Amino acid sequence: MKIRLFYSLFLFFFIGNLTAQKVLQIEKIGKAKTQKIYVGESVFIQTVLNPDWFEGVIEDLLPDAQALVFYDRIIQIKDITAIKFRKKSGMNGAGKAMQWSWVVPVGYQGVFDLVNPPAPEERKRSWIATGYIAAGSFLIGSLMRLIPPKKIKFGEGKNRRLRVLDLTFYPSDSFTLLPPLKNG
């Protein structure tokens, strides 16, 4: 109990600034709901200077310059005309669930064979049918995950905007552990 209290006090008093993270936030004007893209996520970007799609992993976000840093370039927010990302795609999540749905029939078949062992010919037939079900669900789930992400456009006349936010919390200057220094 004393050690836990010591560690809690140590973390509370001696950690300097608590950095949360930097976020690229997509806002729809007039709506409270936002979409967030974090450092390390893959995005597809179309810019004013290059109408071709650029795919890259976000290395860093610069909140002061309102820019995205990739491995070979820095793109400012004002130059982005459209962006695509896979994080919030419903088909991606459904495809992932479908890929792992093969576990249920295979697990059921294994438990059923342990509890009620069938004849060898029937066992072979039932496992072949279970294999078809498992392979089919994995294949359908994989194809669902290949559906391209939704494109979000920005610019004049569009009701969306991009912002780079830095969610860093700094300690208060008014609270210190040490008493004030005496002069003289």
Paired strand residues for 47: 80
Count of residues making up the chain: 184
Task: State the average pLDDT over residues 89-111.
Answer: 76
Work out the pLDDT band at 113, boundaries 50, 70, 90: confident
Question: Model confidence over 160-174: pLDDT tens digits?
Answer: 888 888 887 666 555
Q: Is pLDDT above 60 for 143?
A: yes
Paired strand residues for 56: 43
Rg (the chain; Cα; Å): 27
Q: Is pLDDT above 60 for 130?
A: yes
Q: Is pLDDT above 60 for 176?
A: no
What number of H helices and E strands is found in the chain? Answer: 4, 10
Contact, 42 vs 50, CB < 8 A? no
Q: Tell me the H-state helices in the chain.
A: 2-14, 90-99, 103-115, 120-145
Q: Is pLDDT above 70 for 104?
A: yes
Most trustworthy range by pLDDT among 54-63, 129-138, 169-178:
54-63
- Say how far apart CA 135 and CA 124 lie, in whole Å: 16
- Say how far apart CA 35 and CA 183 lie, in whole Å: 53
Work out the pLDDT band at 83, boundaries 50, 70, 90: confident
Label residue 155 left, alpha or beta by phi (over 0 means left) and psi (-120 to 50 means alpha): left
Q: Is pLDDT above 60 for 17?
A: no
Work out the pLDDT band at 10, boundaries 50, 70, 90: low
- Say how far apart CA 158 and CA 50 lie, in whole Å: 19
Question: For residue 38, what pLDDT is reported?
Answer: 85
Return the DSSP state at 39: T
By three-state DSSP, how is residue 48 classified? coil
Question: For residue 69, what pLDDT is reported?
Answer: 92
Question: For residue 16, what pLDDT is reported?
Answer: 52
Task: State the average pLDDT over residues 52-60.
Answer: 89
Copy the structure tokens of residue 47: 């810019």
Task: State the average pLDDT over residues 134-146.
Answer: 82
The reported pTM is 0.54
Mean pLDDT of the chain: 78
Q: Is pLDDT above 70 for 46?
A: yes
